[in-house]
Structure 1
C-alpha cells in the first residue's frame, strides 16, 4: 500500500483494528515511507485508467451514508489530465443526481477501477469538482459518444494498487473476440435462410 493512501485511510480506529489483528507492524512500515509515495500518477496508472470502460465511484451524502455508483462509457472515457488529475464525461443516467448532489456538498471521492480479465485493481482517493463548461465537456466527451451532461474532474490525493486475490476473471465480449456478436450474426443469417425456405 502506498504511504499517501495509508495516511488517509488508516484512521485511529483502523489502526486499532490492525493492532487487534496483528497487522499494525506491517503497516507501520508503510506509514513511515515518503509522504508523497502514491500521490502522483505514473504512466502505469494512466494507461490502466484510460483502458477502462467503467469505474465504481463512492461519494458521501449529507446524512453520512456512502453512495456507490458505476460510471462508464467507451474505453477511454476516463482521462488522465496530468499526474495529479483525472477527469471523465458524466453521462445522463436515471436523473437521480445522487453522486452529483453529494459531490457539490462534499468533494471527497473514492474511485475503484478494475480490470477483471487481468485481475488488477486500482483505488483512487481525491477531491472532485463538477464542470458544466461546454469546452471541458466536449474535450472529455470525444466524438461519436452520447452527449454528456457535465464533466467530473478529480484531483488525486492518493492511489493504491490493490491485491488481486479475490477478483473473479470476467471477460467482455470484445475480450472474448466478439464471440457473442459473431453468434448473433450467425443466428440472423440462419433465420434469413429459414425465412427464404418458407
Structure 2
C-alpha cells in the first residue's frame, strides 16, 4: 500500500516541502516497495462494509476540486473484488457534479471515516459510471433491497492506492447505535 500511495500523493512539490520541513526522511520509506500491493484485505473489507457514509473527491475539466458526501445504510459501499469497490448512485439534488466530473476525469479519492474509533481510510482510484441497461448484473450487486431511494446509476472504482491515515485530530462522533453501545460498555 505504501508505495502505491506515495507514488500518487508524493509529487515533486510535496517531496520538496517535506524536505524543507524536515519530514522527507521519515516518508522516504513510503517510496519503497511494490506498487501492486493495494488489494483489499479482510480488515479493510470489514471496515468498508461497516461504513454508512464516505466522502468522494473529483475534479472538473478546469481542475477545480469537488468533494461530496455520500450516505446510505451500512454496507451500501460494496467490495466487489480485492481491487474494486462500488455503490448505487441514488437520486440526489440533481446537480450531477460528481458524475459529470468523473465523465471528464475519472480519478477519484475517497475518505472513509470511523469517527467513533477515530480511524480513516483514504482510497485513490479510477471511477466508471455504469448504467443498468449495459451492466444489469453489476447493478444488481450494487443495489440495496431494503433502501427506498431511487437508483440512477452505479459507480465502480478500481483501486490504485489506499492509506490508513493518522487518527490525530479526528473528533469522536457517534451514531445513536454507537452511543448506546458505548454507554452499555462503559
TM-score by length of 2: 0.91
Contact 1:141 1:147 in 2 (8 A): no
1:163 to 166, 173, 176: 166
Runs of 4+ that moved beyond 3 A: none
Per the alignment, in what secondary structure is the counterpart of residue 117 of structure 2? coil
> What are the residue-to-residue correspondences of 1:1-198 with 2, within 5 Å?
2-37=2-37, 39-133=38-132, 134-145=136-147, 146-177=149-180
The root-mean-square deviation of aligned C-alpha atoms, in Å, is 1.3
Shift of 1:131: 0.6
Structure 1: gaps spanning 5 or more residues: 179-198
User: How far 1:27 sits from its partner (Å)?
Assistant: 1.3
Q: 1:117, 1:169 within 8 Å by CA — same for their partners in 2? A: yes
Give the drift of 1:160: 0.4
**Counterpart Cα distance in 2 of 1:29 and 1:173:** 40
Give 1:41 deviation, angstroms.
1.1
Question: What CA deviation, in whole Å up to 9, does each residue of 1:130-167 have, x standing for no partner?
Answer: 11124433321121112211110000000000000110
1:50 Cα deviation after fit? 1.0
Counterparts of 2:178 and 2:119, CA distance in 1: 15
CA distance in 2, matches of 1:76, 1:36: 26
Alignment TM-score, normalising by the size of structure 1: 0.86
Unaligned runs of 5+ in 2: 182-186
Q: How far 1:177 moved relative to its partner?
A: 2.5
Measure, in 2, the Cα distance between the counterparts of 1:89 and 1:68: 18
How big is each residue's C-alpha offset from its partner over 1:8-62, in whole Å with a ceiling of 9 and x where there is no partner? Answer: 111101100000001111111210223233x111111111011100000000101
Structure-2 separation of matches of 1:177 and 1:89: 29
CA distance in 1, matches of 2:27, 2:17: 12
- CA distance in 1: counterparts of 2:67 and 2:35, whole angstroms: 28
Greater Rg by CA: 1
